[in-house]
Amino acid sequence: MSDATYDVLGVGNAIVDIIAQADEAFLEKHGMPKGGMALIDEAQAHAIYADMGAAIEASGGSAGNTIAGVASYGGKAAFIGKVKQDTFGEIFKHDLTSLGVTFATPAATDGPATARCLVLVTSDAQRTMNTHLGACVNLTPDDIDADLVAASAITYLEGYLFDPPAAKEAFRKASTIARGAGRKVALTLSDSFCVHRYKDEFKALIDQHVDILFANDDEIEALYGNRDIAAAANDLASKIDVVAITLGSQGSLIASGEGRYEIPASPIDELVDTTGAGDLYAAGVLYGLSRHLPFAECGRLGSIAASEVIQHYGARPQVALAELA
**Rounded least distance, CB 36 to its own copies, Å:** 23
**Residues whose CB is less than 8 angstroms from the CB of residue 115 and which lie 6 or more positions away in sequence, other chains included:** 13, 14, 15, 16, 61, 83, 88, 131, 132, 133, 134, 135, 136
Give kind and range of the element (H or E) at residue 203: helix 199-209
Q: Which of 139, 95, 81, 88 is nearest to 113 (CA)?
A: 88
**Rounded least distance, CB 133 to its own copies, Å:** 17
Which residues contact its own copies (rule: CB under 8 A)? 20-21, 49-50, 52-59, 68, 86-88, 91, 94-96, 98-99, 312-314, 316, 318-319
**56 or 230: CB nearest its own copies:** 56
**Rounded least distance, CB 270 to its own copies, Å:** 8
**2 or 123: CB nearest its own copies:** 123
**Rounded least distance, CB 54 to its own copies, Å:** 4
**22 or 177: CB nearest its own copies:** 22
In order of 140, 144, 172, 179, 183, the CA distances from 176 in angstroms are 15, 11, 6, 5, 10
**243 or 283: CB nearest its own copies:** 283
**95 or 218: CB nearest its own copies:** 95
**176 or 311: CB nearest its own copies:** 311
In order of 9, 55, 80, 102, 131, the CA distances from 142 in angstroms are 16, 35, 11, 17, 24
**Rounded least distance, CB 269 to its own copies, Å:** 8
**Residues whose CB is less than 8 angstroms from the CB of residue 55 and which lie 6 or more positions away in sequence, other chains included:** 18, 19, 20
- Residue 54 CB coordination number (10 Å): 6
**96 or 108: CB nearest its own copies:** 96
**Residues whose CB is less than 8 angstroms from the CB of residue 94 and which lie 6 or more positions away in sequence, other chains included:** none
Q: What's the sign of the alpha-carbon dihedral 66, 207, 219, 52?
A: positive
**Rounded least distance, CB 154 to its own copies, Å:** 22
**Rounded least distance, CB 87 to its own copies, Å:** 4
Angle at alpha carbon of residue 64, lines to 62 and 69, rounded to 5°: 100
Side-chain-facing half-sphere of 203: CA atoms under 13 Å: 12
